Amino acid sequence: MRWLPELFRNKNYMLLWSGQVVSTVGSSASQIIYPLLILALTDSPAAAGIAAAARALPYLLFSLPVGALVDRWDRKRVMILSDVGRVLAIASIPIALALDALSLLQIYAVSFVEGTLFVFFNIAEVTALSRVVPAAQLPQAAAQNEAAFGAAGIIGPSFGTILFQTLGRSAPFIADAVSFALSALSVMLIKADFRKAAPPPSRGLLHEIGEGLRWMWQMPLIRTMAFLTGGLNMVNAAAPLILIVIARKLGANAAEIGLIFSIGAAGGIVGSLIGGQIQRSFSFTQVILAVMWINALLFALYGVVAHFILLGVISALIWTLGPVYNVVQFSYRLALIPDQLQGRVNSAFRLLAFGFNPLGAALSGWLLEYAGTDTAVMVFAAWCLLLAGGATLNRHVRNARPFSEVTTST
């Protein structure tokens, strides 16, 4: 087995990685079905936007206390219980469909519960990665994660829409519930200790939250990247519903809409394959600014497509940028944060990084229903241009240290 890359010989990492690949396939299969199911039931983009906002809202509400709690608790147990909870929440939808009792209120509730448990799992998972992978290998691990999630993103949407169209509306949600169960099993099998440092002395929760916020706020580059990432994620939260509504207007059926997202996810594979090399070949500043400007220019093209396949092509180009951006900013950030603050600082970062998602999801639905697709595309394209300009003018982004200096100093 010596011929395998070192990460592939790391059993604990491979268990963590493989569990998340399976879970991502399931989530990709079901997440595209939420808006399709709601549009089929109500024909209301605004209602679909509310469901997406309900899933994103828990990060805004809970990320700070969850980060402090994750630093206190057994991170592995948090991940397992979160997955079990998501199994139960998702499984309630096919049960309700079988009983002909599914309502919009239940869909909103499941979205909110799943989003809440995702907050717990995601923050614990970020801290777990630094416990199973050495700091020098974090860029490689981040790139491999992006590659796997990109492959899952290719398979999941088409898989979910085919299940939806051929086996019924319940099938994608059943697949998602099974994927969370397998993720929980993979975490159970990991033998590594996810908490390297000793637990901090018992203090008030607000004090511990404050420590994480203060550390991040005193690191201007990390603080800036949290806001930039939040701005990009606001657009990412809006894009799926915009794509679905445009595709339906262009005559695409459910399976063809799944194909659009699968084509887009293929770009994520390309980005993950080149992300590590780009991280080594270019500076932090060069990568971040290039991604921001290219993303802004590409998003505007959604408003002028004449065939639904072109939506997939543009998405593939945009999604190529995502893994490149993530590999660079994620590995840079993770290398800087002390272990005993990982949960709290990452939760503070994610409060800003994901806190704008509910606004993006809800705003997209409102704009699509009451202002039209052209206006929706124009609003979010203009926002992307503002983000790119702000990043270019920011001195902390322009003067960021090379990654090699960051890992050496930590």
What pLDDT is recorded for position 408? Answer: 52
Q: Which residue has the higher pLDDT, 17 or 251?
A: 251
What pLDDT is recorded for position 1? Answer: 46
Please answer whether residues 308 and 250 qualify as being in contact, where contact means their C-beta atoms are separated by less than 8 angstroms. yes
pLDDT of residue 3 exceeding 50: no
* Cβ neighbours of 395 (radius 10 Å): 10
Q: What is the pLDDT of residues 314-359, one digit of tens each?
A: 999 999 998 889 888 877 777 777 766 766 777 778 778 888 999 9
- The residue ranges of every structural domain in the chain are 6-191+205-409
For residue 305, the 8-state DSSP code is -
What pLDDT is recorded for position 81? Answer: 94
Model pTM score: 0.80
Q: What is the mean pLDDT of residues 366-391?
A: 95
Residue 153 CB partners (closer than 8 Å, separation 6+): 24, 28, 261, 262, 264, 265, 268, 319
When mean pLDDT is compared over 57-66, 69-78, 305-314, the highest value belongs to: 305-314
Q: How far is CA 301 from CA 81, 231, 313, 381, in A?
A: 42, 19, 10, 9
Indicate the SS3 state at residue 106: helix
What pLDDT is recorded for position 46? Answer: 94
pLDDT of residue 190 exceeding 50: yes
What pLDDT is recorded for position 367? Answer: 96
Please answer whether residues 336 and 200 qualify as being in contact, where contact means their C-beta atoms are separated by less than 8 angstroms. no
Q: What is the pLDDT of residues 86-101, one digit of tens each?
A: 999 999 999 999 999 9
Q: What is the mean pLDDT of residues 54-80?
A: 84
Homologous superfamily, domain 6-191+205-409: MFS general substrate transporter like domains (1.20.1250.20)
Q: How far is CA 17 from CA 52, 160, 270, 327, in A?
A: 26, 22, 19, 15
**Among 92, 90, 117, 104, residue whose Cα is nearest residue 31:** 90
The fraction of the chain above a pLDDT of 90, given in percent, is 40
Q: What is the dihedral of CA 311, 386, 61, 396, to 10 degrees?
A: 120
The sign one gets for the Cα dihedral 273, 258, 239, 294 is positive
Q: How far is CA 107 from CA 34, 58, 308, 314, in A?
A: 8, 15, 28, 30
Q: What is the pLDDT of residues 260-297, one digit of tens each?
A: 988 988 887 888 778 778 877 888 889 999 999 999 99
Q: Round the average pLDDT of the chain to a whole number and report it.
A: 85
Give the ranges where 191-219 is alpha helix by DSSP (H). 205-217
What pLDDT is recorded for position 389? Answer: 96
Q: How far is CA 71 from CA 68, 74, 169, 196, 211, in A?
A: 5, 8, 39, 11, 12
Give the ranges where 32-137 is alpha helix by DSSP (H). 33-42, 45-72, 75-98, 104-132
